[in-house]
Each structure stands twice: as structure tokens, then as C-alpha cells.
Amino acid sequence: DAGVIQSPRHEVTEMGQEVTLRCKPISGHNSLFWYRQTMMRGLELLIYFNNNVPIDDSGMPEDRFSAKMPNASFSTLKIQPSEPRDSAVYFCASSRQGGNSPLHFGNGTRLTVT
């Protein structure tokens, strides 16, 4: 199993541009999470899905952020328009549903907005 796959690994874009981050969870996992990691704030949960349905998006910072999960094997996180303060590493993670199931993280996407 290749694990959770994220793309791209690095993204550099200019302020105002649209950014789309992609994630393929581990097959058979029915929970998917998007996290943002910064030096100042550590790991913040943005949104998570169970069985492709968004359950909690209270961590999504602004309306500029949106996430979708059209099927069990794919999710996107979109920022439109992007701003320099969005620069961070964005992690996707998946797990089997259930309180004891560990999260499996992707390698992350390092986003730089200039």
C-alpha cells in the first residue's frame, strides 16, 4: 500500500491565484482529514469527512477555503483567492472510522503564496 498520496509536494503561487491540493486516502479508509501545519499554530484540523460527507468544517479559516470529497478515493482542498498568510504545509490523513483508529498521514503539500 502506497499510503496516503498527496499532490503536489510543493506549490508556489502568487497572491490572488487559485490553489488546489489533492489527496488520495488509503483504500478502505472511510475517514479523511485535512490539517494545516505552521510554525506558529502547529497542526490545525481544517475539515474532516466520514464516508465522503463533511462532518466538521469548523476549522476552515475563511470562505476562501473549500474542500470536497466526490468519492471514497479522492479529496481536494481549494483556496481561492490565495493569500500569503495561507503559506503552510497542508496534510491529508485517513483512517478507518472509530475512536481507536490511528491516522495515516500523507507527505504533505508545502504551499508558498508570494
Q: Which of 17, 80, 101, 112 binds other proteins (CB under 8 A)?
A: 101
CA distance 82 to 15: 5
The stretch near other proteins (CB under 8 A) out of 18-26, 66-74, 76-84, 91-99 is: 91-99
Which residue, 74 or 105, is less far from other proteins as judged by CB?
Answer: 105
The stretch near other proteins (CB under 8 A) out of 19-27, 33-41, 67-75, 79-87 is: 33-41
- R_g over Cα of the chain: 13
Residue 85 DSSP class: G
CA distance 108 to 44: 13
**Which residues lie near other proteins (CB under 8 A)?**
3-4, 31, 33, 35, 41-45, 48, 50, 55-56, 91, 93, 95, 97-108
